[in-house]
Structure 1
């Protein structure tokens, strides 16, 4: 991302990895080093996220099993949070557990009430190697936990139980992409 440019303006929209692809259930590998390849990946993630009208996107959702995600997500007070994290670690989750609607670009058109903490902290690095610590509350905390899960090889549907889990499985089986 060039300084002062709009995230994703220089990226290309990549095809999304959809549920059923083993990559979504494989933990991603640490990113080593930085440079043009990592900058391109971050730019492509932003371009793809915006094209798909999402609020976050992890690298394995575009076929790259690397620990990187981007976000452009509001919190519950409608404050916009924009950024990316390389090699993130979820260092804190607390507060109340809230069941809220959650969707995913890798499960297009589906949504389910998913339990998440309403506060989360992620630490990692920027694509230029600067340390970053991101605090999220409400919907943005949900986004951080969701994207972190992707890098661990999980999708939100893996967190569902009972009838919610059965309903999503039924919907996936009948989806045009399933």
Structure 2
């Protein structure tokens, strides 16, 4: 297992629509293991494969409290069916949109069809935070970020701040010293 880099806005790969996974293989499971380790290291509660640059319809999540044993969940080719009419507000954040949190309304309940870690078909009845997290991560599979659900003003304010922080971070990095030209007569000594 390995911790991978999480893409952040404005990386254009986050806008890609992810492709169906043909079959759950050892390679798929290794990817899900890396995703889970990356999510835990971040730390976060959910991660879509596209967030580490892999445009496949795979999500991992773990909603266990930090005082509980880990409860990892794996979703391959998830599909939401029967979202409820009633909505629930949750404050959402995203590993790909660092340090931005806003309250969003999403369907309070939904059912999800998916393949599990072993490739077996499953149906999950989700409500509360689980329903919100699944919907948030599934948006990633369609190239949608949670900030896309915000007003234009809020979204632009967040993007402007992230751009400013990225610029400041880039300015902090020391430039690599220029290589000294090699002098042929010194190399022979």
Partner of 1:93: 83
Aligned to 1:109, the other structure's residue is in SS state: strand
Matched positions, count: 165
Structure having the higher helix fraction is 2
Structure 1: 4+ residue segments shifted above 4 A? none
Residue 137 of structure 1 deviates from its aligned partner by 1.2
In the alignment, does 2:40 pair up with 1:50?
yes
State which structure, 1 or 2, has the greater radius of gyration over its C-alpha atoms: 2
How far, CA to CA, are the matches of 1:14 and 1:152 in structure 2? 21
- Give unpaired runs (5+ residues) of structure 1: 1-10
Contact 1:45 / 1:57 at 8 angstroms: preserved in 2? Answer: yes
Q: 1:37 aligns with which of 24, 27, 38?
A: 27
- The answer to whether the aligner puts 1:118 opposite 2:123 as a matched pair is no
Residue in 2 that maps onto 1:4: none
The question of 1:145 aligning with 2:130 is answered no
The question of whether the paired residues in 2 share the 8 Å contact of 1:85 and 1:132 is answered with: no
Provide the TM-score with structure 2 as the length reference.
Answer: 0.79
Higher strand content, 1 or 2: 1
Q: Which residue of 2 aligns with 1:130?
A: 120
The whole-number CA distance in structure 2 between the counterparts of 1:168 and 1:142 is: 21
Contact 1:110/1:168 (CA < 8 Å) preserved in 2?
yes
| TM superposition shift of 1:95 | 4.6
Residue number among 74, 91, 94 corresponding to 1:104 in the alignment = 94
Aligned position for 2:160: 170
After superposition, the C-alpha distances for 1:80-130 in whole angstroms (9 at most, x for unaligned) are 863111011111221522332110001111111222121122111013220
> Displacement, 1:38?
0.5
CA distance, structure 2, for counterparts of residue 82 and residue 95 of structure 1: 28
2:159 counterpart SS class: helix
